[in-house]
């Protein structure tokens, strides 16, 4: 068995961003290696992780182009028709409707694990993508014409272009010497599915109230995904509750807006850490997905931004390859970084600002939030701008 192999592109991380990038690059005459520490069965049959992804119209188009959307059962895709934002005990709400975006819906909700399974299937059908499971990058060095990777199985892989797509805590990014701004929000996020008594009308709700952020993501039927953000010590107490007690706790926190609530399935808790890499590219390397930008989930932009980023990188790499300049063309990588930074930076800053502002429970902050929501509700162009971002990207 060969202990050394050369490829055009090596992608570290077979999460959604890495899988989608591999699929975007496939079929163009490039040899692609996808490296992932998980075992093959875990990739093929990705486990339910509690997360429901709010996909924009642009993200759906990307997934359709990559032959991923058609691999997801329509019964598992829920409409996201409208969105409502509430503040504390105020009865006032900011409503962002599909009509504001001149569309039938703002977007769609799809379970993250099903997107991963569908993306894996699409990549598995590509002859020019070699998936290496249960392997990690232990070291790397730059050569004149490639990046040499030392793998945990003892093999050496040399790639013309190396792409890090291995999460917001990317070890590859660190090995490349690329720093990142990291913000720990000091909270944890619980996600779980519930059945509820009153209909949701396919309206997503985000509610900021007294030290918590509470969201309801509408699923098909009288079901929804609850997303609850709390300080760590409060989350520990919540995790200790059984399903019946947790359902009653949700009823209390939602002030009975959804009637009786019953927890169905497993619950999952994640730390909330924002990440913004100091650079998105380097010598023969690039970052995509959360390795480049990992955002707070409050505005639901992270997954969609990752899809846009991999699409932009793939376009630049393929254009350079077709022009004979190679997949690691410095000018192409700089264009990717410039374009993705222009998209990502405002979103990251705005999301961090919103998370900070709505996490402040002092009375002046509560009043300011309520005033901001009232102003936004009555400024039609503002609502249309948000809706247009979701419906047209």
pLDDT tens track for 231-278: 988 999 999 999 999 999 999 999 899 999 999 999 999 998 999 999
Q: Where are the domains of the chain?
A: 4-70+112-182+274-355, 78-109+185-272+360-392
Helix H or strand E encompassing 94 = strand 93-96
pLDDT tens track for 154-193: 999 999 999 999 999 999 999 999 999 998 888 899 999 9
Which position has the higher pLDDT, 377 or 317? 317
Residue for token digits 């039927």?
Answer: 221
Question: How far apart are the C-alpha atoms of 246 and 261, rounded to whole Å?
Answer: 9
Provide the CA 211 distance to its chain's centre, in angstroms. Answer: 24
Domain 78-109+185-272+360-392 CATH assignment equals 3.30.9.10: yes
* pLDDT(214) > 60: yes
189, 186, 182: which is closest to 49 by C-alpha?
Answer: 189
Q: Would you state the structure tokens that stand for residue 34, as one six-digit string?
A: 């996808």
Cα distances from 354 to residues 153, 305, 332, 392, in angstroms, run 44, 17, 33, 22
Q: Is the pTM of this model over 0.75?
A: yes
| CA-CA-CA-CA dihedral for 64, 70, 74, 80, to nearest 10 | -10
Which has the minimum average pLDDT: 1-5, 72-76, 91-95, 222-226? 1-5
Question: How far apart are the C-alpha atoms of 252 and 272, rounded to whole Å?
Answer: 24
Question: How far apart are the C-alpha atoms of 245 and 257, rounded to whole Å?
Answer: 17
Looking at domain 4-70+112-182+274-355, its CATH class is alpha beta
pLDDT band, residue 100 (cuts 50/70/90): low
Residue 104's pLDDT is 78
* pLDDT(9) > 80: yes
| CA-CA-CA-CA dihedral for 300, 303, 309, 314, to nearest 10 | -150
Give one DSSP letter per residue of 147-184, joined into a string.
EEEEETTS-EEEEEEEEE-S-TT-HHHHHTT--EEEEE
78-109+185-272+360-392 shares the fold of 4-70+112-182+274-355: no
Question: How far apart are the C-alpha atoms of 389 and 373, rounded to whole Å?
Answer: 18
């Amino acid at each position: 068995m060969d202990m050394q192999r050369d490829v055009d592109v090596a992608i570290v991380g077979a999460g959604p961003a890495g899988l989608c990038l591999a699929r975007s690059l496939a079929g163009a005459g490039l040899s692609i290696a996808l490296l992932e520490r998980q075992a093959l069965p875990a990739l093929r049959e990705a486990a339910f992780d509690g997360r429901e992804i709010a996909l924009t119209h642009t993200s759906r188009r990307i997934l359709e182009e990559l032959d991923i959307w058609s691999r997801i059962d329509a019964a598992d895709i829920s409409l996201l028709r409208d969105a409502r934002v509430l503040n504390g005990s105020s009865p006032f709400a900011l409503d962002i409707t599909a009509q504001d975006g001149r569309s039938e819906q703002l977007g769609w909700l799809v379970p993250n694990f099903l997107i991963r399974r569908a993306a894996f299937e699409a990549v598995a059908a590509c002859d020019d993508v070699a998936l290496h499971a249960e392997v990690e990058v232990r070291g790397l060095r730059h050569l004149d014409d490639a990046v040499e990777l030392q793998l945990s199985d003892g093999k050496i892989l040399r790639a013309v272009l190396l792409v890090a797509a291995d999460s917001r805590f990317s070890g590859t990014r660190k090995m490349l010497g690329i720093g990142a701004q990291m913000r720990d929000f000091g909270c944890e996020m619980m996600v779980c599915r519930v059945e509820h008594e009153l209909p949701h009308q396919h309206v997503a709700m985000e509610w900021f109230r007294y030290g918590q952020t509470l969201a309801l993501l509408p699923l098909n039927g009288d079901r929804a995904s609850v997303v609850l953000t709390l300080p760590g010590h409060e989350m520990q107490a919540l995790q200790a509750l059984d399903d019946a007690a947790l359902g009653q706790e949700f009823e209390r926190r939602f002030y009975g807006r959804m009637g009786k609530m019953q927890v169905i399935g497993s619950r999952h808790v994640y730390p909330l850490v924002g990440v913004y890499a100091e650079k998105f590219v380097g010598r023969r390397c690039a970052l995509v997905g959360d390795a480049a930008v990992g955002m707070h989930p409050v505005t639901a932009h992270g997954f969609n931004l990752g899809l846009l980023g991999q699409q932009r990188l793939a376009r630049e790499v393929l254009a350079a390859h077709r022009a004979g300049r190679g997949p690691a063309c410095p000018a192409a990588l700089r264009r990717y970084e410039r374009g993705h930074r222009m998209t990502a930076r405002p979103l990251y800053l705005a999301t961090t600002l919103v998370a900070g502002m709505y996490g402040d429970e002092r009375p002046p902050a509560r009043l300011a939030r309520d005033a901001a929501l009232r102003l936004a509700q009555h400024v039609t162009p503002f609502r249309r701008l948000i809706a247009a971002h979701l419906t047209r990207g």
